[in-house]
Amino acid sequence: MSHVHPLPPTPQTAAANREALEHLPMHDVDDFADAARGLIAPLTEAVLHADGTPIFDPSWFDFIEDDTPAPDSVHPSLWRQAQLMKRGGLYEVVAGLYQVRNNDIGDLTVIEGDDGLVVIDCTTGIESGAQAMRMIREHVSDKPVAAVVYTHTHADHYGGVKGVVDPADVASGRVPIIAPGTVRSFDRFAIGENVVAGAAMARRAQYAFGSLLPYGERGFVTCGIGNALGNPTISYISPTDPITRTGERRTIAGIELEFLYAPDTEAPENMHVWIPQLGALTCAENANHALHNIQTLRGARTRDARNFARFLDETLERWGDEAAVHFGPHTWPVWGNASVTEFIGSQRDTYKFIHDQALRFANKGWTPLEAAEEIELPPALSQRWYNRGYHGTVHHDVRAVYTKELGMWDGDPVSLNPHTPVETARRYVQLVGAERLMEEGRRALEQADYRWATQVLHHVVFAEPENTEAKELAARAYEQLGYQAEGPQWRGVMLTAALELRTGVRSSGLTSASDDSINAMPVDILFDYAAVHVDGRKAADADVLIDIALTDQHDDPHDERWHFWVRRGVLNARRGPSPSPRLSLSGPKASLVAVLLDPASAGALVDAGALMLTGDPSELDAYAALLDSADPVFPIVTP
Ligand SMILES: [Zn+2]
């Protein structure tokens, strides 16, 4: 009974999606005009890898037509967002400010100054960044890039930088890179946040961003705030001009920029930018045509909903009276002072509502799931399209406020020390029998009680992972939940669950650890990254000590000498040489990165003259024996 292809929506799913329409402000169609406003050139070409394979092709979204009602397999609110997000190209936002939108998950903004361009955010990949700059060159200006601004520490904002500027121009000081936080802190979060837990995040991102799904009405329709998360070449150049205080100003090519430092919001380092000459403002992703994640489903540190509201209000206080346009690094701009202040104020109140109500319920003893089930935005907020859950959802953002403020335990003793999912599943199957559980799953499916169906069938799948009928039944339930989800990440998770239950674990090759990002890692974080590869059990009685000399860390002489040791199951590292070295490795950072993560590569590096070993080489063998080589393509929806 197993199906490789997705099944149609059930009549109950179709009815649920039709019913959802009744509660949506479908009469408000302004976004369609705004998303099209100022178009200079549409996207016509695919973004390609060097070998010609496509990273993103605008024709992939041709199945989403304008003015067509949502198919029964897509929530109507999500379909509308997909219709808006499939539009892309080069746009004039106001005279002198341009955006290339939707050739990537992130957008690139250019401000034309007297004798140069200021680029704000660079898209995710070198390829999309370069394509965006080609469009700017062709239609707007061929003035040189005079500065790059990263609004925050996420890869879809810095990853395309080497498609935008020549690293030599940054190194020479000709082109500053302006970014929030100290350089060290930006590096730490930009690289550390996405790499040290990167394998888990990349695998979970494949679910949340639907990157394993086919494009289509029964598959991927949009990721909500941009186009598909492809597999571009992510580059990195460290910032050179840090912004650490609100009110700091820079003048670049005659363009004045003023900054509001907004850390611990959508990203750990974040800032808003005001361009007084143009009356133009960006709150980065703290204000967007979507409710954002307080907790991303790919996994990342939990964010502070209160801070979103705090810094949005401070932005209104500072520039609200003068702002004529808001542009973001995702979705489309908002024009006109009344609309801009309503947009920012409404987003502020949405985050604050979620924060305040979650804690109100917490303080009454409600657990996270109970509060998430109960809390709804008031109509004054929910009837604004931009507050709807195209990235975060009220449901999982409420739970995230609990995580941020109260931590991992929901306070119910039963969840403090429960059995693992497999053990729990075995016990349920032993108690009632797989057949009885499947019967209940079939009954729940029949009655369109899909949430319950997944919960019941989960026990059979985890107790009997070879039970293809149970897996197919669970897939059918997840599939309908996906079709009914307004949030694209929920849709992605549910439909990917169905796909993998039917066809097994897959990989889109998505990774967060690009060569550039690993090589740009601050040295101490590099040791943090190596440390999470140490198998604590194997290393329980280890005694390894290795000295490191980095021959290319001239910028920071502090970072030239290090030593690390593994004892008691733990890798620690310190600056400076060890008191009694056993083995010293010397070479450029790239070689040391390779050896730390893959000690077997040492021989080839020595042969190539890229690494020197002095002392007892058996220390390296001992280290190699302690590393875990886990497959990053791990199962999620099966044990
Ligand atoms: Zn982003």
Report in angstroms the alpha-carbon separations of 419 from 424, 425, 427. 5, 9, 9
Domain annotation covers residue 631: no
> Is residue 1 over pLDDT 60?
no
Residues 253/116, Cβ–Cβ less than 8 Å: yes
The CATH number of residue 262's host domain is 3.60.15.30
Rg of the chain (C-alpha set): 26
CA distance 387 to 374: 18
Q: Give the residue from 349, 372, 406 where a domain finishes.
A: 406
User: 356: Cβ–Cβ under 8 A, 6 or more apart, which residues?
Assistant: none
Residue 20 falls inside a structural domain: no
Distance, CA 576 to ligand 1 centroid (Å)?
38
CA neighbor of 118 nearest in space, from 286, 257, 281, 236? 257
Average pLDDT in the 400-408 region?
97
CA of 294 to the centre of ligand 1 (A): 14
* Distance of alpha carbon 365 from alpha carbon 353, whole angstroms: 18
Show which of 406, 430, 461 is a domain's final residue: 406
Structural domain includes residue 354 = yes
CA of 284 to the centre of ligand 1 (A): 8
Q: How far is the CA of 106 from the centre of ligand 1 (A)?
A: 6
Which DSSP symbol is given to 570? Answer: E
- Cα of 105 vs centre of ligand 1, distance in Å, is 7
CA 120 to centroid of ligand 1, rounded, Å: 12
- Taking the centre of ligand 1 as the mean of its atom positions, its distance from the CA of residue 141, in whole angstroms, is 26
For residue 182, which amino acid is it? T
Do 335 and 35 form a contact (C-beta atoms < 8 A)? no
Give me the chain's average pLDDT, please: 95
Per DSSP, the residues of 414-427 read GGTSPPPHHHHHHH
**Number of domains the chain contains:** 2
Secondary structure (H, E, C), 154-206: CHHHHCCHHHHCCHHHHHCCCCCEEEECCHHHHHHHHHHHHHCCHHHHHHHHH
Residues 320 and 195 in one domain: yes
| Whole-number pLDDT of residue 3 | 57
pLDDT for 511 equals 66
Q: Determine the distance separating the centroid of ligand 1 and the alpha carbon of 111, expressed in angstroms.
A: 19
Give pLDDT, residue 555.
Answer: 67
In a domain, residue 517? The reply is no
With a cut of 60, say whether residue 314 has pLDDT above it.
yes
Q: What angle do CA 190, 191, 194 make, to 5 degrees?
A: 90
Q: How far is the CA of 329 from the centre of ligand 1 (A)?
A: 7
Tokens of 247: 């009110």
Q: Is residue 203 part of a domain?
A: yes
Model confidence at 197, in pLDDT bands (50, 70, 90)?
Answer: confident
Separation of 104 CA from ligand 1 center, angstroms?
A: 10
Which domain covers residue 606, as residue numbers? 522-624
Task: Report how far ligand 1's centroid is from the alpha carbon of 524 (Å).
Answer: 26
Ligand 1 centroid, distance to 165 Cα (angstroms):
20
Q: Which of 406, 438, 460 is the last residue of a domain?
A: 406
241-252 pLDDT, tens digit each: 999 999 999 999
Count CB neighbours of 638 within 10 A. Answer: 15
Q: What ranges make up the beta strands (E) of 7-161?
A: 39-42, 47-48, 54-56, 89-94, 97-101, 108-112, 117-122, 145-149
Using the mean position of ligand 1's atoms as its centre, give its distance from the Cα of residue 279 in Å.
23
3 state DSSP class of 429 = helix
Do 67 and 192 lie in one domain? The reply is yes
In a domain, 484, yes or no: no
Per-residue confidence (pLDDT) for residue 195, from 0 to 100: 81
Residue predicted with more confidence, 6 or 228: 6
pTM: 0.95
Domain co-membership, 396 together with 528: no
348 inside domain: yes
> Alpha-carbon distance 358 to 381, whole Å?
16
The pLDDT of residue 67: 86
Q: What is the CATH number of the domain that holds 563?
A: 3.30.1050.10
Span from the CA of 594 to the centroid of ligand 1 (angstroms)? 29
Distance 461 CA to ligand 1 centre (A): 35
Residue 616, judged by CB atoms within 10 A of its CB (0-12, 13-18, 19+), counts as middle
Q: Are 401 and 527 part of one and the same domain?
A: no
Confidence of residue 420 (pLDDT cuts 50, 70, 90): very high
pLDDT over 70 at 54, yes or no: yes
Distance from residue 285's CA to the centre of ligand 1 (Å): 7
- Per-residue pLDDT at 515 exceeds 80: no
Question: What pLDDT sits at residue 85?
Answer: 95
Centre of ligand 1 from the C-alpha of residue 225, in Å: 8
